[in-house]
Amino acid sequence: MSQDGRAARLVLHHLGLHDAGQYSCDTGHDVTTARLNVTERDIRIVRGLEDCEVFENNSATFSCEISHADVQEVEWWLDQSRLYHNEFNEISVDGGKTHVLTLNNLTLQDGGCVTFKAGKQTSSANLSIKVVPVKFVKRLEDVDCVEDGEAEFVCEVSQPSAPVTWHRGDRQLSPSQKYVMHRDGAVVSLVVTKLQPEDAGAYTCDAGHEATSANLCVQEAPVLISEALRDQEVEESGTATLRCRFSKPAARVTWRKDSSVLHPSDKYEMKLEGNLATLVILNVQPEDAGSYNCETENDQTSGMLRVQETPVLISEVLQDQEVEESGTATLRCRFSKPAARVTWRKDSSVLHPSDKYEMKLEGNMAIPSHPQRTAGGCWEATSARQKMIGTFAMLKITG
């Protein structure tokens, strides 16, 4: 507004359609009136918006060029929400005709339709927000553990909230007593418990866009003796059972008597049930006494077997005989078991093999004979193992 003498002036800048209307100049004693008509400019969009695709947490910029400069009545919209200039929505004009919108710190929820309005003209474009690909800051490393222990795989992803899945080979793993899964922000871990040799292999952590793998090597624990063989004493002809127990089931064991390897037979029965090994010795004889060993690849145990010999008893006694002079007399007796040695006596004199006396010990039968002339008397057969066991018979010679 200005006044120069008797002339008064009103100048309106940057006219808009809302400026149209009736204007008056009032002196207090008189008034003059005029009407202002504002004709809308023919604003056109020269270059419209273009679709934009960005990763989350980044910025997206849209620009639209119109035909006229210094157009004030423009609007920016995101879907149904009008946007205003602030730290998240930067609205500016470049060169008077190019209008620019920059959206900052975008989230996945910010995607939608962006619209620019200038007068009756509009231009729209789509804003797409992509998930930032997850990368591994720290990758898995191979793990070497001992059987029955635990193995832990640890890796770190670039985003604390990024979901991951664990796999063993082609099979996806789920949390269980066997597979324990932990997460501390961006650090994720898998613990494999109660390791067995079959747990060995490749394990993978999959973050969708990227994966990391490592191998698990399980060293078998040695088979150790947890319960040793015990010394035993059994009666002759009985059965001896030797047992020992291991720290874990054994694939194979070796039984020895002294230094000789034993094999399953009518004499020996061998069993291996889980972590229990058993040796059964049938019809135990004195020669079965000795040291027995049970051996694994990593350990061994020993035990002594003692055999109580049963007495040699007379099962068939000598029979009195009467033979002619110059004839042959044969005396026989039988024992309850084979005797190692017997002693023959005539009256109180010990007899020995000679031209006169033939002595045989066949199994459990003792047979002396004397083909030449001899005097009668009392004959005795005594077992060497049980000297108190004997049998007597009278031999009578007829002339």
User: Does residue 278 share a domain with residue 233?
Assistant: yes
Question: At which of 102, 130, 158 does a domain end?
Answer: 130
- The closest alpha carbon to 118, from 63, 61, 43, belongs to 43
User: Does residue 356 share a domain with residue 325?
Assistant: yes
User: Does residue 261 share a domain with residue 232?
Assistant: yes
pLDDT band at 316 (very low <50, low <70, confident <90, very high): confident
Question: At which of 308, 336, 368 does a domain end?
Answer: 308
Query: Ramachandran region of residue 288, left (φ > 0), alpha (ψ -120 to 50) or beta?
Result: alpha
Give the total number of structural domains in the chain: 5
Cα separation, 31 vs 28, in Å, equals 7
- The arithmetic mean of pLDDT across residues 108-122, rounded, is 91
pTM of the shown model:
0.49
Q: Is the pLDDT of residue 364 over 80?
A: no
User: Does residue 140 share a domain with residue 124?
Assistant: no
Which domain CATH number covers 112? 2.60.40.10
Return mean pLDDT, the chain. Answer: 87
Question: At which of 308, 340, 369 does a domain end?
Answer: 308
In sequence order, the 6+-apart residues with CB closer than 8 A to the CB of 150 are: 191, 192, 193, 194, 195
pLDDT for the residue numbered 374: 47
- The closest alpha carbon to 120, from 45, 19, 15, belongs to 45
User: Does residue 75 share a domain with residue 106?
Assistant: yes
User: Does residue 346 share a domain with residue 322?
Assistant: yes
Alpha-carbon distances of 314 from 297, 309, 331, 389, rounded to whole Å: 50, 16, 14, 7
User: Does residue 20 share a domain with residue 85?
Assistant: no
Tokens of 256: 């020895």
Q: Which residue has the higher pLDDT, 161 or 116?
A: 116
pLDDT for the residue numbered 386: 47
**What residues make up the domain containing 109?**
45-130
pLDDT for the residue numbered 389: 61
Q: Rounded to 5 degrees, what angle do the CA atoms 128, 130, 132 make?
A: 155
pLDDT for the residue numbered 377: 57
- Alpha-carbon dihedral angle through residues 203, 206, 211, 216, given to the nearest 10 degrees: -10
Q: Is the pLDDT of residue 190 over 60?
A: yes
Query: Mind giving me the DSSP string for 55-88?
Result: ETTS-EEEEEEESSSS---EEEEETTEEE-SSSS
User: Does residue 143 share a domain with residue 118?
Assistant: no
**Number of Cβ atoms within 10 Å of the Cβ of 284:** 21
